[in-house]
Chains A and B, each alone.
Chain A
């Protein structure tokens, strides 16, 4: 069944030429010289005032990276990236450690305002009900310009700051966990990131604390010819809970810009981390010129018993997306979840999915992935579910649906399912027929058309995902998710 008109219109409304965040902020920036060598790594480390061990860590990563080759297994194609033709560090000049919001360059504040990201705490307090308050860490090119609600969070014991600050203030915590989920030489881009990451967020939620508000980071690439390499590290100690979300945008340019981030999540006993992403990097223009190359390594480690990590992502931007938010289910009874909606338009290429690695006993995971491709885009779901020898009673349910709009796009599914333990029960399906006849009959009997019935059921189903997203992002995501999925192909 082909896509219905309503769906086509919805996808059209977020087509590449409708990109709203393509403006450039005219602001003076301070850059490291172009290219990559040990001096650049030293420069970045010195700029951040990092301890000696951190510099060594970076240099080690840099040397390893020099020996590695770019991976080519993903279903994406792009001209070879010249890693010597990039600026690895770019910071707005005025952003050198502002003490308060008033010291932040008004140009920057205006930028975030334009993006719809509130940075002024009092305004948020005045405008919105307290339960919707969101603490924001705003990362502009290579540096974090401001982090809101820091003091209030501190009262609850929660550490929320930029990773550079964490390296200065809490070096032991960072040293203990950094690189423990995504090792330095995990893959080409993760290694590059380890060498040159410039900023990102650090979150530590102490034992038994439920983080009192949503935490978020807003990433903005502004400068030309820069790569953004951010590093996020989130630790939920025993029994802690945190919900974190990130958003990303970039200006409209002819050139391709590189974004290679690493995100590490660590959940100890009984802890829970929710990580949500609304990724809206500049996707390139109608002819496929420009756009962000989004090569991201995201991984969560359910290290403790009964821990839970949940990834939710809404992907609409980037020229190329290469990301697989994964869960290592190490602790017994731990749980991993992955909810994804990836919409590709124009010449976008998406190769995304997840890995659920069951190591502990009685672990369970759930994967719901919906891909919609339109225009001349290619959308691939690539996933791995594996149960190791000792992972008895592992459970997985996977559902991935895709929808094609038009003749020139492609949708692909590449799941790997490996059961090395006979008590593992894995179910994988890629079809819309999951909507049961009973549900359809129930709706139709009450006078709904087929289409309305499907829309209702699908929306009812994804509502659970959307409700996980904090409000400001939920609005944007809702628009995408309300796209009905009848006529999907597996």
Chain B
């Protein structure tokens, strides 16, 4: 599918190469792991539009230069940054703070989490021992041949590994706050594993920061048999953001995820979902709100490798200004994955003349007794609905905001967790009022 053409290296590519040379000297035990990942980048270069998976998100053209990896932030810097990261202030939760990709133990509720039976490990420490690093830096990410993921592994600064024990039910959600203090690029890794029958709610938030530099985050969620995971992931702002999420579902597990992307920069969230046990059920939700020259890409690959699993995907985008939203979703149903039920819906609301949307909902089906469907729509706000509201005395801007909110709420509310839904809907209202 992909055309192998290697043009001259771009400035960003040479930047990354020289940065890697510098980093390699002090990489210690993790050097073999990093070298392997970097070799993939060397071979392929930054993904561009001739690479099918990045057709609509040309990272090579977007990255004019690559910022050097950010230095360790001081506790004062982190404390100040944390004070500004208030997106989920209304949610009663534990916090685990990462700044410039590294765990800030002093600002995280580690003791409280230990009491709940949740193990929290600093990924930076794991990197000092290659065997342990291999054990925790999940197989799916290491096996993946995606260049963004490879760059994350090569430049990995740190992160957090959270283990929820068998049968444990954590009383409050855990928020992993990704801070960015000062300049530079951030490469972080979040590893979450749920034991059999565990119940866990996770929030990941990437706060908007004044500083530039790209963010490259990888999250790996391993959901054990009969376990339940609910996650919300907020990406707000930043020049360049690339997130890669790996989600593996065990037998009879239940997962709800919501990816929430609001911004004016370049953001891509790519999720790789695989069903490894029967009777698992996943709700995958996505919200994209863009304005200015924003570029928001939600890419999704759902791999039904075993029978009797359900997946529902609902992705909504609201696009204003000259922004462009992208949705690429692929449902794969492997041979023998009978009785699969996969439903994918993507809808876009274009608010301005120059807004654009690219949809690519794919199905790849090799089993004959399955139900799969996808739908894609894009259009403007329905004039009839607008008229209905205005006829009842609601001013036009307010009526528009109401309709947009209703459009997005359909996906947000599927998440189920009331406090998180309220916090995100607040976010939508805030975004809409800026326009009003």
Contact = CB atoms under 8 A, between A and B. Distances in A.
Contacts of A417: 357-361, 376, 378
B368 A412 contact: no
Q: How large is the interface on B (under 10, 10 to 19, 20 to 34, 35 or more residues)?
A: 35 or more
A404 interface: yes
Interface string B373-414: 111111110000000000000000000000000000000000
Given A407-B367, A422-B352, A414 B372 contact: no
Given A418-B356, A421-B353, A428 B361 contact: yes
A223 B333 CA distance: 42
A412 B362 contact: yes
A428 B327 CA distance: 13
A404 B369 CA distance: 8
Interface stretch (A163-171, A308-316, A429-437): A429-437
Contacts of B356: 418-421
A402 B362 CA distance: 13
Interface in A396-419: 402, 404-419
A405 B366 CA distance: 10
Given A1-B369, A404-B367, A426 B360 contact: no
Contact of B376 (A402, A414, A415, A422): A415
Contact of A407 (B354, B355, B361, B368): B368
A226 to B, nearest CB: 31
B325 to A, nearest CB: 10
A56 interface: no
B302 to A, nearest CB: 13
B360 A414 contact: yes
A208 interface: no
Given A73-B1, A490-B363, A418 B368 contact: no
Contacts of B40: none
B360 A416 contact: yes
B363 A430 contact: yes
Nearest to B2: A73
B241 to A, nearest CB: 23
Nearest to A401: B373
A415 B1 contact: no
A428 B376 contact: yes
Contacts of B348: 419
Contacts of A423: 380
B376 A431 contact: no
Contacts of A431: 372-375
B364 A410 contact: yes
Given A416-B358, A424-B379, A431-B373, A404 B350 contact: no
14 contacts: A73-B3, A402-B363, A404-B367, A406-B368, A407-B368, A417-B361, A417-B378, A418-B359, A419-B348, A419-B357, A420-B356, A422-B353, A425-B378, A489-B365
Lowest 3 CB-CB distances: which A-B pairs, in order?
A431-B373, A422-B350, A404-B368
Interface of B: 1, 3, 52, 333, 335-336, 348, 350-380
Interface of A: 1-3, 72-73, 389, 402, 404-431, 433, 489-490
